[in-house]
Structure 1
Amino acid sequence: MKKKPEITAQTKQNLIDAFWEIYCTKRIEKITIKEITTRAGYNRSTFYEYFSDVYDVLAQLEDNLIFKLQQLPIQKLSTSDTFPFEAIVSMYSHHRKYLMVLLGDQGDLAFQGRIKASMKPMMKELLIARGATDSFKLDYKLEYALSAMIGVLSYWFNQENAPSIEKLIELLGELSSEGVMKKLIG
Protein backbone atom coordinates (compact mmCIF):
# COMPACT_ATOMS: atom_id res chain seq x y z
CA MET A 1 0.00 0.00 0.00
CA LYS A 2 1.36 3.40 -1.02
CA LYS A 3 1.70 6.15 1.55
CA LYS A 4 -0.26 9.34 1.01
CA PRO A 5 1.96 12.23 -0.12
CA GLU A 6 0.66 14.57 2.61
CA ILE A 7 1.51 12.00 5.30
CA THR A 8 4.95 11.46 3.79
CA ALA A 9 5.58 15.22 3.69
CA GLN A 10 4.42 15.61 7.27
CA THR A 11 6.63 12.73 8.47
CA LYS A 12 9.64 14.30 6.79
CA GLN A 13 8.81 17.70 8.27
CA ASN A 14 8.42 16.17 11.74
CA LEU A 15 11.91 14.67 11.44
CA ILE A 16 13.32 18.01 10.27
CA ASP A 17 11.60 19.81 13.15
CA ALA A 18 12.98 17.30 15.67
CA PHE A 19 16.47 17.71 14.18
CA TRP A 20 16.13 21.49 14.32
CA GLU A 21 15.12 21.50 18.00
CA ILE A 22 18.26 19.52 18.80
CA TYR A 23 20.52 21.46 16.41
CA CYS A 24 19.59 24.76 18.09
CA THR A 25 21.28 23.55 21.27
CA LYS A 26 23.85 21.02 20.12
CA ARG A 27 26.61 20.87 17.50
CA ILE A 28 25.78 18.65 14.55
CA GLU A 29 28.61 16.18 15.16
CA LYS A 30 27.05 15.42 18.55
CA ILE A 31 23.53 14.75 17.20
CA THR A 32 22.46 11.15 16.76
CA ILE A 33 19.76 9.66 14.59
CA LYS A 34 18.35 8.01 17.70
CA GLU A 35 17.86 11.46 19.31
CA ILE A 36 16.03 12.73 16.24
CA THR A 37 13.78 9.71 15.85
CA THR A 38 12.97 9.56 19.56
CA ARG A 39 12.02 13.23 19.62
CA ALA A 40 9.95 12.89 16.43
CA GLY A 41 8.33 9.62 17.50
CA TYR A 42 9.56 7.47 14.62
CA ASN A 43 11.99 4.60 14.21
CA ARG A 44 15.38 4.63 12.50
CA SER A 45 14.08 3.01 9.32
CA THR A 46 11.62 5.88 8.87
CA PHE A 47 14.49 8.35 9.21
CA TYR A 48 16.45 6.54 6.47
CA GLU A 49 13.48 6.77 4.09
CA TYR A 50 14.13 10.51 3.92
CA PHE A 51 17.75 11.13 4.93
CA SER A 52 21.10 9.38 4.74
CA ASP A 53 22.45 10.92 7.99
CA VAL A 54 22.20 14.02 10.18
CA TYR A 55 24.30 16.03 7.73
CA ASP A 56 21.76 15.26 5.02
CA VAL A 57 18.97 16.72 7.19
CA LEU A 58 20.99 19.92 7.60
CA ALA A 59 21.82 20.06 3.88
CA GLN A 60 18.18 19.63 2.88
CA LEU A 61 17.09 22.28 5.36
CA GLU A 62 19.74 24.70 4.05
CA ASP A 63 18.87 23.92 0.42
CA ASN A 64 15.23 24.70 1.13
CA LEU A 65 16.14 28.03 2.77
CA ILE A 66 18.42 29.02 -0.10
CA PHE A 67 15.67 28.15 -2.58
CA LYS A 68 13.27 30.42 -0.67
CA LEU A 69 15.82 33.24 -0.59
CA GLN A 70 16.30 32.90 -4.35
CA GLN A 71 12.57 33.39 -4.81
CA LEU A 72 12.93 37.00 -3.70
CA PRO A 73 10.80 38.89 -6.23
CA ILE A 74 13.08 40.56 -8.76
CA GLN A 75 10.47 43.36 -9.11
CA LYS A 76 11.09 44.40 -5.48
CA LEU A 77 14.82 44.42 -6.13
CA SER A 78 14.68 46.32 -9.39
CA THR A 79 12.46 49.19 -8.16
CA SER A 80 14.89 50.34 -5.47
CA ASP A 81 17.28 53.18 -6.22
CA THR A 82 19.73 51.83 -3.68
CA PHE A 83 21.03 48.40 -2.87
CA PRO A 84 17.72 46.58 -2.21
CA PHE A 85 18.14 46.21 1.55
CA GLU A 86 14.44 46.42 2.41
CA ALA A 87 13.44 43.45 0.28
CA ILE A 88 16.41 41.36 1.39
CA VAL A 89 16.15 42.22 5.10
CA SER A 90 12.42 41.51 5.07
CA MET A 91 13.03 38.15 3.45
CA TYR A 92 15.78 37.29 5.93
CA SER A 93 13.62 38.42 8.82
CA HIS A 94 10.85 36.07 7.67
CA HIS A 95 13.30 33.14 7.99
CA ARG A 96 14.95 34.48 11.13
CA LYS A 97 14.28 31.31 13.17
CA TYR A 98 16.67 29.34 10.97
CA LEU A 99 19.07 32.03 9.84
CA MET A 100 19.97 33.28 13.30
CA VAL A 101 21.21 29.79 14.15
CA LEU A 102 22.76 28.89 10.79
CA LEU A 103 24.60 32.22 10.56
CA GLY A 104 25.50 32.22 14.26
CA ASP A 105 28.47 30.85 16.15
CA GLN A 106 27.03 27.32 16.27
CA GLY A 107 25.94 27.35 12.63
CA ASP A 108 27.35 25.89 9.46
CA LEU A 109 30.32 28.00 8.32
CA ALA A 110 29.77 27.06 4.67
CA PHE A 111 26.17 28.28 4.74
CA GLN A 112 27.08 31.96 4.50
CA GLY A 113 29.14 31.24 1.39
CA ARG A 114 26.28 29.28 -0.13
CA ILE A 115 23.88 32.18 0.48
CA LYS A 116 26.25 34.64 -1.18
CA ALA A 117 26.82 32.30 -4.11
CA SER A 118 23.09 31.94 -4.63
CA MET A 119 22.33 35.67 -4.44
CA LYS A 120 25.35 37.07 -6.27
CA PRO A 121 24.28 36.20 -9.84
CA MET A 122 20.82 37.74 -9.33
CA MET A 123 22.29 40.90 -7.78
CA LYS A 124 24.97 41.13 -10.46
CA GLU A 125 22.37 40.92 -13.22
CA LEU A 126 20.33 43.64 -11.53
CA LEU A 127 23.35 45.94 -11.13
CA ILE A 128 24.44 45.45 -14.74
CA ALA A 129 20.90 46.34 -15.84
CA ARG A 130 21.30 49.56 -13.82
CA GLY A 131 24.52 50.48 -15.58
CA ALA A 132 27.30 48.67 -13.74
CA THR A 133 30.16 47.33 -15.82
CA ASP A 134 30.62 43.58 -15.62
CA SER A 135 34.19 43.28 -14.39
CA PHE A 136 36.30 41.78 -11.65
CA LYS A 137 35.72 45.01 -9.68
CA LEU A 138 31.96 44.52 -9.70
CA ASP A 139 32.41 40.94 -8.56
CA TYR A 140 34.60 41.95 -5.60
CA LYS A 141 32.44 44.93 -4.67
CA LEU A 142 29.36 42.73 -4.73
CA GLU A 143 31.12 40.13 -2.57
CA TYR A 144 31.99 42.90 -0.13
CA ALA A 145 28.43 44.29 -0.04
CA LEU A 146 26.81 40.86 0.40
CA SER A 147 29.32 39.89 3.11
CA ALA A 148 28.67 43.14 4.95
CA MET A 149 24.90 42.75 4.67
CA ILE A 150 24.96 39.14 5.90
CA GLY A 151 27.31 40.16 8.70
CA VAL A 152 25.00 42.98 9.79
CA LEU A 153 21.98 40.68 9.63
CA SER A 154 23.77 38.03 11.69
CA TYR A 155 24.69 40.69 14.23
CA TRP A 156 21.10 41.98 14.29
CA PHE A 157 19.63 38.48 14.72
CA ASN A 158 21.74 37.85 17.80
CA GLN A 159 21.24 41.14 19.64
CA GLU A 160 18.96 41.16 22.68
CA ASN A 161 18.00 44.82 22.23
CA ALA A 162 18.14 44.89 18.44
CA PRO A 163 16.57 47.83 16.64
CA SER A 164 13.32 47.27 14.78
CA ILE A 165 13.46 45.97 11.24
CA GLU A 166 12.44 49.44 10.04
CA LYS A 167 15.37 51.08 11.83
CA LEU A 168 17.76 48.48 10.45
CA ILE A 169 16.50 49.06 6.91
CA GLU A 170 16.83 52.82 7.44
CA LEU A 171 20.44 52.44 8.65
CA LEU A 172 21.35 50.17 5.75
CA GLY A 173 19.74 52.66 3.37
CA GLU A 174 21.87 55.46 4.86
CA LEU A 175 25.01 53.39 4.45
CA SER A 176 23.98 52.63 0.89
CA SER A 177 23.29 56.25 0.00
CA GLU A 178 26.67 57.15 1.46
CA GLY A 179 28.43 55.09 -1.11
CA VAL A 180 27.81 51.33 -1.25
CA MET A 181 25.40 51.41 -4.20
CA LYS A 182 27.34 54.17 -5.95
CA LYS A 183 30.54 52.17 -5.57
CA LEU A 184 28.86 49.03 -6.91
CA ILE A 185 27.62 50.69 -10.07
CA GLY A 186 30.51 53.14 -10.56
Structure 2
Amino acid sequence: MIKQPEITMQTKNNLADAFWQIYCEKRIEKITVKEITTKAGYNRSTFYEYYTDVYDVLEQIEASVLPDIEKHKKMIPNGSMRFPLKHLVEVYNKNKQYFIVLLGKNGDPAFQEKMKNTYKDLVRPMVKTYESDDYKLECSLEYAMSAIIGVMTYCFTREEQPDIEKTVVLLNDFMNNGVIGLLK
Protein backbone atom coordinates (compact mmCIF):
# COMPACT_ATOMS: atom_id res chain seq x y z
CA MET A 1 0.00 0.00 0.00
CA ILE A 2 1.42 3.40 -0.99
CA LYS A 3 0.96 6.08 1.64
CA GLN A 4 0.27 9.66 0.79
CA PRO A 5 2.98 11.94 2.24
CA GLU A 6 0.49 14.56 3.42
CA ILE A 7 -1.53 11.99 5.35
CA THR A 8 1.62 10.42 6.77
CA MET A 9 2.87 13.80 8.00
CA GLN A 10 -0.54 14.67 9.44
CA THR A 11 -0.67 11.37 11.34
CA LYS A 12 2.80 11.95 12.78
CA ASN A 13 1.85 15.52 13.74
CA ASN A 14 -1.40 14.33 15.36
CA LEU A 15 0.54 11.86 17.49
CA ALA A 16 3.10 14.52 18.44
CA ASP A 17 0.30 16.98 19.30
CA ALA A 18 -1.42 14.39 21.49
CA PHE A 19 1.88 13.67 23.23
CA TRP A 20 2.50 17.39 23.76
CA GLN A 21 -0.94 17.98 25.28
CA ILE A 22 -0.29 15.20 27.76
CA TYR A 23 3.32 16.29 28.39
CA CYS A 24 2.14 19.79 29.33
CA GLU A 25 0.18 18.19 32.17
CA LYS A 26 2.50 15.46 33.43
CA ARG A 27 6.08 14.25 33.46
CA ILE A 28 7.28 12.01 30.66
CA GLU A 29 7.82 9.02 32.97
CA LYS A 30 4.06 8.93 33.52
CA ILE A 31 3.08 9.05 29.82
CA THR A 32 2.20 5.85 27.99
CA VAL A 33 1.95 5.05 24.30
CA LYS A 34 -1.61 3.89 24.92
CA GLU A 35 -2.49 7.29 26.39
CA ILE A 36 -1.04 9.08 23.34
CA THR A 37 -2.74 6.86 20.80
CA THR A 38 -6.07 7.04 22.58
CA LYS A 39 -5.91 10.84 22.65
CA ALA A 40 -4.84 11.01 18.98
CA GLY A 41 -7.36 8.38 17.81
CA TYR A 42 -4.84 5.86 16.44
CA ASN A 43 -3.71 2.40 17.42
CA ARG A 44 -0.36 1.45 18.96
CA SER A 45 1.03 0.04 15.73
CA THR A 46 0.51 3.40 14.02
CA PHE A 47 2.48 5.09 16.81
CA TYR A 48 5.39 2.67 16.29
CA GLU A 49 5.51 3.47 12.57
CA TYR A 50 6.70 6.97 13.50
CA TYR A 51 8.29 6.73 16.96
CA THR A 52 10.20 4.16 18.97
CA ASP A 53 8.78 5.29 22.33
CA VAL A 54 7.54 8.37 24.20
CA TYR A 55 11.12 9.63 24.63
CA ASP A 56 11.57 9.58 20.85
CA VAL A 57 8.54 11.87 20.46
CA LEU A 58 10.06 14.29 22.96
CA GLU A 59 13.46 14.15 21.22
CA GLN A 60 11.89 14.93 17.85
CA ILE A 61 9.89 17.84 19.26
CA GLU A 62 13.00 19.23 20.95
CA ALA A 63 15.02 18.92 17.74
CA SER A 64 12.31 20.78 15.83
CA VAL A 65 12.35 23.79 18.17
CA LEU A 66 16.10 24.09 18.62
CA PRO A 67 17.42 26.83 16.34
CA ASP A 68 19.12 26.01 13.07
CA ILE A 69 22.74 26.98 13.68
CA GLU A 70 23.55 27.34 9.99
CA LYS A 71 20.75 29.89 9.68
CA HIS A 72 22.12 31.79 12.67
CA LYS A 73 25.66 31.75 11.27
CA LYS A 74 24.45 33.45 8.09
CA MET A 75 23.10 36.32 10.19
CA ILE A 76 26.54 37.07 11.65
CA PRO A 77 28.91 39.01 9.40
CA ASN A 78 32.36 37.42 9.08
CA GLY A 79 34.64 38.51 11.90
CA SER A 80 31.77 40.04 13.85
CA MET A 81 31.55 39.77 17.61
CA ARG A 82 27.87 40.71 17.52
CA PHE A 83 25.71 37.90 18.82
CA PRO A 84 22.32 37.88 17.03
CA LEU A 85 20.29 38.36 20.21
CA LYS A 86 17.22 39.75 18.47
CA HIS A 87 17.04 36.70 16.21
CA LEU A 88 17.55 34.39 19.19
CA VAL A 89 14.70 36.05 21.07
CA GLU A 90 12.47 35.84 17.98
CA VAL A 91 13.20 32.10 17.66
CA TYR A 92 12.40 31.73 21.34
CA ASN A 93 9.21 33.74 20.98
CA LYS A 94 8.08 31.70 17.96
CA ASN A 95 8.44 28.46 19.94
CA LYS A 96 7.69 29.81 23.38
CA GLN A 97 4.86 27.36 24.09
CA TYR A 98 7.48 24.59 23.82
CA PHE A 99 10.34 26.42 25.55
CA ILE A 100 8.22 27.39 28.55
CA VAL A 101 7.30 23.75 29.16
CA LEU A 102 10.68 22.23 28.21
CA LEU A 103 12.64 24.69 30.37
CA GLY A 104 10.05 24.72 33.15
CA LYS A 105 9.95 22.78 36.39
CA ASN A 106 8.29 19.71 34.81
CA GLY A 107 10.24 19.90 31.56
CA ASP A 108 13.18 17.95 30.27
CA PRO A 109 16.30 18.82 32.30
CA ALA A 110 18.47 17.77 29.36
CA PHE A 111 16.79 20.30 27.04
CA GLN A 112 18.47 23.29 28.65
CA GLU A 113 21.85 21.62 28.07
CA LYS A 114 20.95 20.90 24.45
CA MET A 115 19.92 24.50 23.96
CA LYS A 116 23.05 25.88 25.64
CA ASN A 117 25.27 23.59 23.57
CA THR A 118 23.55 24.67 20.37
CA TYR A 119 24.29 28.32 21.12
CA LYS A 120 27.79 27.62 22.38
CA ASP A 121 28.52 26.04 19.00
CA LEU A 122 27.33 29.24 17.35
CA VAL A 123 29.24 31.65 19.57
CA ARG A 124 32.46 29.68 20.10
CA PRO A 125 34.01 30.56 16.70
CA MET A 126 33.19 34.25 17.30
CA VAL A 127 35.06 34.42 20.61
CA LYS A 128 37.74 31.76 20.07
CA THR A 129 40.06 34.30 18.41
CA TYR A 130 39.86 36.51 21.53
CA GLU A 131 40.43 33.81 24.12
CA SER A 132 43.17 31.17 23.83
CA ASP A 133 42.54 29.56 27.22
CA ASP A 134 39.98 26.81 26.42
CA TYR A 135 38.89 26.42 30.05
CA LYS A 136 38.18 30.15 30.39
CA LEU A 137 36.43 30.16 27.01
CA GLU A 138 34.13 27.26 27.92
CA CYS A 139 33.33 28.72 31.36
CA SER A 140 32.52 32.07 29.75
CA LEU A 141 30.25 30.41 27.19
CA GLU A 142 28.49 28.41 29.91
CA TYR A 143 27.93 31.56 31.95
CA ALA A 144 26.65 33.61 29.00
CA MET A 145 24.33 30.94 27.60
CA SER A 146 22.91 30.07 31.03
CA ALA A 147 22.22 33.75 31.65
CA ILE A 148 20.60 34.35 28.25
CA ILE A 149 18.38 31.28 28.50
CA GLY A 150 17.49 32.12 32.09
CA VAL A 151 16.50 35.70 31.27
CA MET A 152 14.42 34.63 28.29
CA THR A 153 12.67 31.91 30.27
CA TYR A 154 11.95 34.38 33.07
CA CYS A 155 10.56 37.01 30.66
CA PHE A 156 8.46 34.59 28.63
CA THR A 157 6.94 32.88 31.67
CA ARG A 158 6.02 36.17 33.36
CA GLU A 159 4.24 37.95 30.50
CA GLU A 160 1.85 36.85 27.78
CA GLN A 161 3.48 39.07 25.15
CA PRO A 162 6.90 40.17 26.42
CA ASP A 163 8.50 43.19 24.80
CA ILE A 164 11.12 41.61 22.53
CA GLU A 165 12.93 44.90 21.94
CA LYS A 166 13.18 45.52 25.68
CA THR A 167 14.44 41.96 26.25
CA VAL A 168 17.11 42.35 23.55
CA VAL A 169 18.27 45.68 25.02
CA LEU A 170 18.39 44.14 28.50
CA LEU A 171 20.39 41.13 27.30
CA ASN A 172 22.77 43.40 25.38
CA ASP A 173 23.26 45.53 28.50
CA PHE A 174 23.95 42.42 30.58
CA MET A 175 26.49 41.19 28.04
CA ASN A 176 28.21 44.59 27.73
CA ASN A 177 28.02 45.91 31.30
CA GLY A 178 27.33 42.94 33.53
CA VAL A 179 24.55 42.84 36.09
CA ILE A 180 26.37 44.96 38.67
CA GLY A 181 27.04 47.66 36.05
CA LEU A 182 23.30 47.92 35.39
CA LEU A 183 22.39 48.22 39.06
CA LYS A 184 24.65 51.24 39.70
TM-score range, shorter chain: 0.7 to 0.9
| Aligned residue number for residue 60 of structure 1 | 60
Kept in 1: contact 2:18–2:40 (CA 8 A) = yes
Paired residue for 2:139? 140
Say if 2:92 and 2:99, in contact at 8 Å, map to a contact too: yes
Q: How far does residue 122 in structure 1 lie from its aligned partner after superposition?
A: 1.9
Q: State the distance in 2 between where 1:118 and 1:75 align.
A: 15
Provide the C-alpha distance between the structure 2 equivalents of 1:77 and 1:149, rounded to a whole number of angstroms: 18
Residue type of the alignment partner of 2:101: V
**TM superposition shift of 1:126:** 2.0
Query: What is the rounded CA distance, in whole Å, between the counterparts of 1:103 and 1:41 in structure 2?
Result: 29
> Counterpart of 2:95?
95
1:161: how far off? 6.6
Q: Is the 8 A contact 1:82 1:177 kept in 2?
A: no
TM alignment of 1:88-127, pairs within 5 A: 88-127=88-127
Structure 2: tracts of 5 or more residues without a match:
180-184
- Residue identity (%): 50
Equivalent residue pairs, number = 178
1:77-92 alignment runs, 5 A limit: 77-78=76-77, 82-92=82-92
Structure 2 distance, partners of 1:162, 1:15, is: 28
1:48-90 alpha-carbon deviations (Å, 9 max, x no partner): 1111211111111112222x34344323234865443212111
Instruction: Tell me what 2:166 maps to.
Output: 167
Deviations 1:73-117 (A, max 9, x none): 323234865443212111111111111110111100011111112
Please state whether the residue corresponding to 1:105 is helix, strand or coil. Answer: coil
Amino acid aligned to 2:24? C
Counterpart AA for 2:167: L
Q: In 2, distance between residues paired with 1:174 and 1:121?
A: 22
The two structures, once aligned, show a CA RMSD in angstroms of: 2.1
1:73 partner SS: helix
Counterpart residue number, 2:176 = 177
Q: Determine the structure 2 residue equivalent to 1:157.
A: 156
Letter in 2 for 1:172: L
The answer to whether the 8 A contact 2:83-2:123 is kept is no
CA–CA distance in structure 2, aligned partners of residues 6 and 93 of structure 1:
27
SS of the counterpart of 1:77? Answer: coil
Q: CA deviation at 1:163?
A: 4.1
Q: Paired residue for 2:182?
A: none
Which structure carries more relative contact order (alpha carbon 8 Å, separation 6+)? 1
